[in-house]
């Protein structure tokens, strides 16, 4: 049993030496950790922070540019809308003005056409009246000539009642044939 106890105590000592706290090792580990921390801080952390700061500034600048572009686009859209409304109003005014001018021109043309039609009608009525008067004058002249011819025949002959009736019927036949 003694043997077992001595083996157990030896194994406990070996175990203790593996788990033992050595101040030199602790100091060495702390110095190594501090050196690694300083190396990371100097070579990795600061450059990464600078890169991140630059990216942050670039992102902020791009956001500002995007905001400005959006504002300019909205302003341009408002101007376009205003110009479009002005153009529509101007087009409506032009159409209205053209319509009024066309109506006035139409009234003038109709008035001129009515005036010319009245003049043509008046001239036609004058021509008809003149032709009617001329026809009446021609008929009067023909009747006068026939009366003169009848009178000449009456004078050439001594007229009896039968001759008088014959002359009148011939005269009436000639007048009827002349019409």
Cα 72 from chain centroid (whole Å): 26
Give the DSSP H or E segment for 158. none
What's the mean pLDDT when you consider all of the chain? Answer: 84
**17-53 pLDDT tens trace:** 567 788 989 999 999 999 999 998 888 888 889 999 9
**148-164 pLDDT tens trace:** 777 777 666 666 667 77
In the prediction, which pLDDT does 141 show? 79
Q: Tokens for 168, please give them.
A: 């009148």
Looking at the chain, how many residues does it have?
179
Q: CA 147, 153, 159, 160 torsion: positive or negative?
A: negative
pLDDT class of 1 with cuts at 50, 70, 90: low
In the prediction, which pLDDT does 32 show? 96
Tell me the Cα Rg of the chain.
Answer: 69
In the prediction, which pLDDT does 7 show? 60
Alpha-carbon gap, residue 143 to 33, rounded angstroms:
157
> Contact, 152 vs 138, CB < 8 A?
no
> Contact, 150 vs 114, CB < 8 A?
no
**60-85 pLDDT tens trace:** 999 999 999 999 999 999 999 999 99
In the prediction, which pLDDT does 17 show? 57
Alpha-carbon gap, residue 136 to 7, rounded angstroms:
176
């Amino acid at each position: 049993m003694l043997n077992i106890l001595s083996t157990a105590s030896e194994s406990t000592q070996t175990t203790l030496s593996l788990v033992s706290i050595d101040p030199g090792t602790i100091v060495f580990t702390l110095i190594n950790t501090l050196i690694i921390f300083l190396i990371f801080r100097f070579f990795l952390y600061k450059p990464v922070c600078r890169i991140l700061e630059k990216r942050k500034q670039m992102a902020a600048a791009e956001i500002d540019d995007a905001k400005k572009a959006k504002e300019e686009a909205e302003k341009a859209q408002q101007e376009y809308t205003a110009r479009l409304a002005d153009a529509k109003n101007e087009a409506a005014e032009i159409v209205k003005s053209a319509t009024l001018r066309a109506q006035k021109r139409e009234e003038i043309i109709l008035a001129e056409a009515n005036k010319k039609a009245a003049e043509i009608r008046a001239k036609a009525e004058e021509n008809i009246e003149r032709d009617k008067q001329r026809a009446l004058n021609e008929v009067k002249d023909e009747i006068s000539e026939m009366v003169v011819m009848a009178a000449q025949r009456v004078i050439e002959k001594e007229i009896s009642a039968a001759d008088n009736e014959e002359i009148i019927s011939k005269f009436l036949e000639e007048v009827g044939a002349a019409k």
